[in-house]
């Protein structure tokens, strides 16, 4: 299983065909992240999109509920060993936080968001808030704890080398 990228241009003028093509593509893959930028150029303005994804036909395993729709991602295959160790620590933190707050884990952070944090080794609250789907409220509520987990794991990894 490997990460793949696809790029889209969605014009503001006559966007229906491009929008339909983009949505059709999204229905066939497991989306990991998107980056988007609006390019302003009068009537020729457009959205430029970069999509990071896993091909759902190449993914193995399913999550059970809605099994044909979403495939389970094995982050051991995607992340480096160091990044996966950090990802595991972040998951442990999320689990204990979810138990304390009695909330579903995905409402704290998704697996995809934790994987991005591990890959990027987030160092600041601004970097955390820049990740797709993470707003000010979650940065304010969990940001300092996330940064502490990341800093601790990075420091431990540096001691081991």
Domain ranges of the chain: 4-55, 75-160
What SS3 class is residue 17?
Answer: helix
**pLDDT for the residue 161:** 59
d(CA 20, CA 30): 17
Give, as one character, the DSSP assignment of residue 119. H
Contacts of 73 (CB under 8 A, 6+ apart): 1, 30, 32, 54, 59, 111, 112
- Thinking of the domain 75-160, which architecture would CATH place it in? Orthogonal Bundle (1.10)
Q: Tell me what percent of the chain is helix, strand and coil, each rounded to the nearest 5.
A: 50, 20, 30
Please indicate, yes or no, whether the overall pTM of this predicted structure exceeds 0.85.
no
pLDDT tens-digit series, residues 9-49: 888 887 788 888 888 888 778 777 888 899 999 989 998 98
């Amino acid at each position: 299983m490997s990460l793949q990228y696809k790029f889209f241009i969605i014009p503001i003028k006559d966007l229906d065909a491009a929008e339909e093509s983009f949505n059709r593509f999204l229905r066939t893959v497991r989306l990991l992240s998107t980056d988007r930028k609006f390019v302003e150029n009068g009537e020729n303005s457009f959205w430029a999109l970069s999509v990071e994804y896993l091909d759902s036909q190449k993914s193995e395993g399913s999550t059970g509920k809605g099994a044909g729709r979403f495939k389970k991602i094995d982050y051991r295959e995607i992340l480096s060993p160091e990044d996966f160790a950090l990802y595991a620590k972040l998951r442990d933190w999320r689990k204990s936080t979810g138990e304390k707050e009695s909330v579903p884990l995905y409402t704290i952070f998704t697996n995809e968001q934790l994987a991005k944090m591990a890959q990027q080794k987030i160092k600041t609250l601004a970097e955390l808030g820049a990740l797709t789907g993470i707003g000010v409220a979650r940065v304010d509520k969990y940001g300092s704890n996330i940064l502490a987990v990341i800093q601790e794991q990075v420091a431990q990894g540096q001691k081991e080398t």
